[in-house]
Structure 1
């Protein structure tokens, strides 16, 4: 009997101890918000602001309605957070991708194409259509989108132009105004064509050709003057 006890003891010792299942590791609130915003983009795009359901957003995000309301108390706050989240990602791309090139024209083309990726994104077009269709009923939507998305896009490009001005590559008095003009020249027609269903989103090749033209036109008007003495010594 003692031998059997010993055998059982050895066998038990050779089997690794099983961990209890317990509860799965929970996401942080910030991670959960990001999932909710992603789900909200689809719901708002498909249904519009008025018809979109908080319960459907929660279901698509895989969270309870109670959790969603704890993190984001109103539908307007959800819409605003969704827009802000998208803009934060856009700003990080611009800051990382378009500010270090020595070739100012190529760098500007890259900056414009990055802006196009945002402005002509299907979800952004859908949001703007919602605002046009429902802005009278929900005036706060238009004001929020103008401030959080439209003006911030201009601000990002203005900051980029400001960096180039500090580096002596361009000469501008008002980078904010210049950024608005540049974006208008590059984006106004394609954006309106898509918004009103006249044309599909331009191909990458079409956007690249447009960016080249706009960058050339813009830089020819604000290029830093070439030092004449340096040019003459170079010619000699």
Structure 2
């Protein structure tokens, strides 16, 4: 159901996607769709929640004690990048930008159930690392937003506004590695 909805919203747009077409593409009746979701907005919100739950549950962001901080951070950032740079998520973000004036709740739901939840999940992981005394940061929420911005924002903007292709897996992994190193080690040289 959610895969069909995500595809329809990404391709057709929110306004142009009818509940009848959504039900048909999911292989259910419109009546069943309305029993599951009171409207298209509720389906969109549930779809966003489902997508992030599936992606973030695929990677254990709470990294066990056996994993060093850099490996754990890379895994966490890669999970965030996989979500932010997923072709359908980028298409949905483009659609939300285009239609948010007519449907302000659409943008709010996309932010609350996608962007903000990704950042709060990463912030929880960072707080665990602070408790283990592996890193020292004052505001885990702010740091999580900065990290996600470093790893995903420029490639997203290049795709959405510049018409560039999504980065390859190798490019994403290299970006994640660079972001993790910058965060953990900084880039200032030691001076005497």
TM-score w.r.t. length of structure 1: 0.75
Moved over 6 A (4+): none
Report how far residue 137 of structure 1 moved: 0.6
Deviations 1:74-114 (A, max 9, x none): 111111111111111123123x2661253211221121111
- Matched residue of 1:73: which SS? coil
Counterparts of 1:109-188 in structure 2, within 5 Å, are 109-188=74-153
3-state DSSP class of the match of 2:15?
helix
| In the alignment, structure 1 residue 68 sits paired with structure 2 residue 28 | no
The structural deviation recorded for 1:145 is 1.0
CA deviation after TM superposition for structure 1 residue 206, in Å:
1.2
Structure 1 vs Structure 2 CA RMSD = 1.4
Say whether the 8 Å CA contact 1:185–1:214 is kept in structure 2. yes
Distance 1:181 1:46 in 2: 30
Between structure 1 and structure 2, the one with the greater Rg is 1
Bigger RCO of structures 1 and 2 (CA < 8 A, at least 6 apart): 2
The unaligned stretches of length 5 or more in structure 2 are 187-192
Take 1:198 and 1:39, find their aligned partners in 2: how far apart are those partners?
Answer: 25
Residues paired across the two proteins, number: 185
1:211 and 2:164 aligned: no
Q: Is the 8 A contact 1:120 1:201 kept in 2?
A: yes
